[in-house]
Amino acid sequence: MTVAGGPTVRRALDEAHRREWAFVVAAAARLARDLDLAEECAQDAFVRAAETWPRHGVPANPGAWLTTVATRRVLDLLRRERVLRGKLPLLVDPRPAESDPPVLEEATVFRDDRLRLVFTCCHPALAREAQVALTLRLVCGLATPDIAAAFLVSESTMAARLTRAKHKIAAAGIPYRVPTGADLPDRLDAVLDVVHLLFTAGHAAPRGDALVRPDVVERALQLGRTLRALLPDEREVAGLLALMVVTDARRATRVAADGSLVLLEDQDRRRWDRAGIAEGGALVVAALRGGRPGRFALQAAIASLHAEAPSAAETDWAQILHLYDLLLRVWPSPVVALNRAVAVAMVDGPDAGLAAVDALAGDARLDGYAYLPATRADLLRRLGRHAEAAEAYRAALRLTANGAEQAFLAGRLAGVER
């Protein structure tokens, strides 16, 4: 044990929540078979840590300590209900929580518990949005407001969805396991959605002052690598991992020393992670080989074209536009259409790009999506239509909750107002 003061304990708790939340919830769920109870007991474990660690010190293995406390809490509650009468002597760890429990190999825990929880949340009996939202909450530890922002809905709406999803899992008796054989494909696409949304939430944080949340990015990458190891022949798994690795290769250059946002065209490409770009490129080849490419493979191919261009001016925008055309066929998403409009502007000029953006203005799925008015503002700025650009920048600012993005948009707004 390491005796620790208040700030040290706070940092240790924050780090434990980032790294261990999913393991603690998953271990509790394995015993409870009830997601509400598992989440409650995981939260209780962190409350217990906040009370105990300042007095006794931070354990040598915080994750094992938290898991022991959470699972003991589950067993205590189940004992009261007489659910585990004959099994309790075999399951309860008699040592006090302040001792350091034995450490399980992370790969074993991850495969046996966390992936089971991911696939349980992504059962096809749930609506797709409920699958993704529930996994982001329980497995990834994202706050309900962040999940709501990712789905462009209110916090109260998302909270209600999460509650209904957990109750449906309990009522339907959905098994807590990784599916095999014919059951796997039905759930895999939702799992990939979860990992992608998690990565996006870390790569461009929806709230807060920082543009990037490295801990969330790392969590998504870890999940992606584990899925790749578990399912090496699934091309879309390779595509998603390629997309994340290549995109994250630019992390060091996306924010300036003062915390301000740096556009892709202005980033110092010499500082990009070339090993990551090479790894992602190899994964793209694997994802594109052997049949019609999926949405993650195509997105990864687009990201690789950006990453492999020697300079912004040498980017192969014509090929990128072609890939967006293919992507829209397999994934007709308004966000994809908006990204395609940027490529149209680079190939055919800002007038053509603006027409493509304006064609999306009536799509209700983009209501509240800040990048729609932000993209429109940039095209209007490039066309010299400064008054209209200013109005669009103001609209984007009203929809943006990230401090770095707000500062960037405010700077652009000041520029067109001048």
Instruction: Report which residue type is found at 1.
Output: M
Measured CA to CA, the distance from residue 109 to residue 93 in angstroms comes to 17
pLDDT of amino acid 339:
97
Query: What is the domain extent for residue 211?
Result: 107-174+184-225
- Domain assignment present for residue 221? The answer is yes
- Domain assignment present for residue 49? The answer is yes
How many Cβ atoms sit within 10 Å of the Cβ of residue 261?
A: 19
Query: Please, are residues 84 and 75 in contact by the beta-carbon 8 Å criterion?
Result: yes
116 and 205 inside one domain: yes
pLDDT of amino acid 5:
53
Cα 10 to chain centroid distance, Å, stands at 24
Measured CA to CA, the distance from residue 29 to residue 36 in angstroms comes to 9
Tokens found for residue 272: 């990009």
pLDDT of amino acid 145:
86
Measured CA to CA, the distance from residue 200 to residue 167 in angstroms comes to 28
Q: How many domains does the chain have?
A: 2
119 and 217 inside one domain: yes
Tokens found for residue 253: 């250059």
53 and 160 inside one domain: no
- Using alpha carbons, select from 207, 200, 150, 209 the residue that is nearest to residue 407: 209
DSSP 212: -
Cα 332 to chain centroid distance, Å, stands at 21
The crossing angle, in degrees rounded to 10, of helices 295-308 and 317-330 is: 170
Sign of the CA dihedral 345, 348, 354, 359? negative
88 and 142 inside one domain: no
Measured CA to CA, the distance from residue 395 to residue 377 in angstroms comes to 9
84 and 190 inside one domain: no
Measured CA to CA, the distance from residue 183 to residue 146 in angstroms comes to 30
- Domain assignment present for residue 344? The answer is no
Give per-residue burial for 191-200: e unless 16+ CB within 10 Å, then b: bbbbbbbbbb
137 and 170 inside one domain: yes
220 and 112 inside one domain: yes
Last-in-domain residue among 159, 194, 225: 225
Instruction: Report which residue type is found at 197.
Output: L
Query: Please, are residues 364 and 395 in contact by the beta-carbon 8 Å criterion?
Result: no
- Domain assignment present for residue 325? The answer is no
Residues 6 or more apart whose CB falls under 8 angstroms from that of 217 comprise: 199, 202, 203, 244, 248, 251
Query: Please, are residues 385 and 191 in contact by the beta-carbon 8 Å criterion?
Result: no
88 and 119 inside one domain: no
- Using alpha carbons, select from 394, 371, 367, 392 the residue that is nearest to residue 380: 392
92 and 113 inside one domain: no
CATH number of the structural domain spanning residue 38 = 1.10.1740
How many Cβ atoms sit within 10 Å of the Cβ of residue 183?
A: 15
pLDDT of amino acid 100:
40
Residues 6 or more apart whose CB falls under 8 angstroms from that of 162 comprise: 130, 133, 134, 137, 144, 147
- Domain assignment present for residue 271? The answer is no
pLDDT of amino acid 86:
52
Last-in-domain residue among 73, 96, 119: 96
- Using alpha carbons, select from 76, 38, 73, 40 the residue that is nearest to residue 65: 73
- Domain assignment present for residue 123? The answer is yes
Helix (H/G/I), strand (E/B), else coil: 215? helix
- Domain assignment present for residue 357? The answer is no
88 and 126 inside one domain: no
Per-residue tens of pLDDT for the chain, all 418 residues: 444 456 788 888 888 887 788 888 888 888 887 888 888 899 899 999 999 888 888 888 888 899 899 999 988 888 776 544 554 454 444 444 444 443 333 333 444 577 778 878 888 888 888 888 888 888 777 788 888 877 778 889 888 889 888 888 888 787 777 676 666 777 788 889 888 988 998 898 877 788 888 888 988 898 898 888 878 889 999 999 999 999 999 999 999 988 889 999 999 999 999 999 999 999 999 999 888 899 999 999 999 999 999 999 999 999 999 999 999 999 999 999 999 999 999 999 999 999 999 999 889 889 889 999 999 999 999 999 999 999 999 999 999 988 999 999 999 999 999 8
Measured CA to CA, the distance from residue 1 to residue 170 in angstroms comes to 38
pLDDT of amino acid 112:
55
How many Cβ atoms sit within 10 Å of the Cβ of residue 283?
A: 26
Measured CA to CA, the distance from residue 102 to residue 362 in angstroms comes to 57
Sign of the CA dihedral 410, 412, 416, 418? positive
76 and 10 inside one domain: yes
62 and 123 inside one domain: no
- Domain assignment present for residue 76? The answer is yes
